[in-house]
């Protein structure tokens, strides 16, 4: 317990300073509000009660590491700025290292001190950008990978550094996926569900791009002529995002129609590969087909936003 002296400022206002350790732990700064609760002859001071401020995750020595990781991600998405993982007993170094690796997937969240029985995570940046801006950034990262994997197949020269870059870039897409869910957690309205559909589609497009890169790294080869019809996916992907940013349902509708037309070409192509029994190449083609479907899903979500 700390003892603090009451001071007088002006003629009628009494003030008491707050312990620096408590202010830091609760991620407070000059100008922030605190809640003061009066209980009989006691005053209780708490960080202002706002959804998404701080939260505690209590663990035990037998707690499942993967579950606790998932809980941290969930609290991040829910908008909390401080996450405290606490235990009545010492947290092992292996468990601690496992948890401290979680923020690498979460933009702005970092390990921030702690003790032998506590691990603290703080949002060290404030996400000022609108969700649409973050969606655009997520798309930009994804479209770079789609362009690069198309180029690798087109030139027929498979560069390990480029393919590794595509695979690693999928982690950046995932980071924005979690960030946007966090940004949307404090909002309400009819646009939430379509926006979630859009970022899920982008995340899944990125997964399939990564899958193609891994198949190529594993030695799989496919003729550029066999994916010629899929090259238009790049333009369709950009058009779907243009429709979102411009709120243009006509562009979105054209994207849906173009994806449908591609399906007729796909059937002929897939039939030929089935006859040749090229199973690995079929996996690549299947991923391109799924990318087209998710682009169509983005366009449908744009229309649902109107």
Taking only the tens place, the pLDDT of each residue in 24-43 is 767 677 667 776 766 556 77
Domain that holds residue 60: 54-123
Helix, strand or coil, per DSSP, at residue 115? strand
* Domain termination site, one of 104, 123, 142: 123
- The answer to whether residue 30 sits within a structural domain is yes
pLDDT value, residue 157: 77
What does the alpha-carbon distance between residue 130 and residue 127 come to, in Å, rounded to a whole number? 8
Query: Of residues 209 and 11, which shows the higher confidence score?
Result: 209
Residue 10 has pLDDT above 80, yes or no: no
- What does pTM read for this prediction? 0.74
CATH number, position 66? 3.30.110.10
pLDDT value, residue 266: 72
Q: Please report which residue ranges of the chain form alpha helices under DSSP H.
A: 20-25, 65-77, 93-100, 131-155, 160-185, 192-217, 232-246, 249-276, 279-305
- Residues 182 and 283 placed together within one structural domain of the fold: yes
Q: Which of 9-23, 82-96, 267-281 has the lowest mean pLDDT?
A: 267-281
Mean pLDDT of the chain: 85
pLDDT value, residue 5: 83
- The answer to whether residue 1 sits within a structural domain is no
Taking only the tens place, the pLDDT of each residue in 187-203 is 777 889 999 999 999 99
């Amino acid at each position: 317990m700390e003892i603090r002296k009451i001071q007088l400022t002006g003629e009628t206002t009494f003030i008491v300073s707050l312990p620096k350790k408590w202010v830091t732990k609760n991620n407070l700064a000059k100008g922030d509000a605190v809640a003061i609760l009066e209980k009989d002859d006691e005053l209780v001071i708490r960080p202002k009660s706002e959804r998404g401020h701080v939260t505690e995750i209590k663990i035990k020595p037998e707690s499942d590491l993967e579950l606790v990781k998932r809980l941290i991600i969930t609290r991040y998405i829910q908008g909390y700025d401080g996450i405290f993982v606490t235990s009545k007993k010492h947290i092992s170094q292996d468990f601690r290292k496992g948890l401290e690796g979680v923020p690498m997937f979460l933009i702005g969240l970092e390990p921030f001190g702690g003790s032998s029985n506590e691990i603290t995570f703080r949002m060290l940046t404030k996400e000022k950008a609108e969700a649409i801006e973050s969606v655009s950034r997520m798309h930009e990262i994804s479209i770079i990978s789609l362009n690069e994997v198309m180029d690798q197949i087109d030139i027929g020269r498979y560069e390990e550094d480029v393919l590794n870059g595509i695979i690693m870039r999928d982690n950046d897409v995932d980071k924005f996926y979690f960030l946007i869910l966090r940004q949307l957690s404090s909002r309400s309205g009819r646009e939430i569900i379509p926006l979630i559909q859009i970022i899920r589609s982008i995340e899944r497009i990125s997964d399939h791009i990564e899958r193609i890169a891994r198949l190529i790294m594993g030695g799989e080869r496919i003729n550029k002529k066999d994916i010629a019809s899929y090259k238009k996916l790049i333009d369709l992907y950009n058009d779907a995002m243009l429709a979102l940013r411009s709120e243009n349902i006509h562009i979105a509708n054209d994207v849906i129609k173009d994806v449908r037309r591609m399906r007729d070409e796909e059937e002929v192509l897939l039939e030929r590969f089935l006859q040749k029994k090229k199973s690995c190449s079929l996996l690549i083609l299947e991923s391109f087909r799924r990318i087209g479907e998710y682009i169509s899903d983005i366009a449908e979500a744009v229309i649902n936003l109107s």
